[in-house]
Amino acid sequence: MLLLHISRSSGPPPAAMRQAIYALHQTQAALPKRWAVRPQARVRYSMAAARSVLNRVRAYLRYRDTVTQLSRLTDRELADLGISRYEIRGLVRH
């Protein structure tokens, strides 16, 4: 871990601080490009991930609701639709 103490003087930074800053920049430049993501891009990626999770949850809730509604039908009503009881989950999934 690199800790720097920066004074409020207007003079040039001391040599040790210049070396530390240079080393920090070199370390950041050596990181893989996939880690070097701008903060705005990180927010977009995290929002996209959140949207993806939310869409999957919504799709599962629709699936569960449809299975529940079809399961409440009688065998005769399902036969009228051309569906047998064991086919419900497979038909709803596709």
User: Does 65 or 41 have the greater pLDDT score?
Assistant: 65
* pTM as predicted: 0.52
Question: Across residues 63-92, what is the average pLDDT?
Answer: 93
pLDDT of residue 43: 67
**For 19-54, how does the pLDDT look when each residue is reduced to its tens digit (9 = 90+)?**
676 666 556 555 556 555 566 666 677 788 888 899
* Joined tokens for residue 17: 């601080």
- Please provide the DSSP assignment of 6-30 as one string: ----SSPPPHHHHHHHHHHHHHHHH
Sequence ranges of the domains in the chain: 15-93
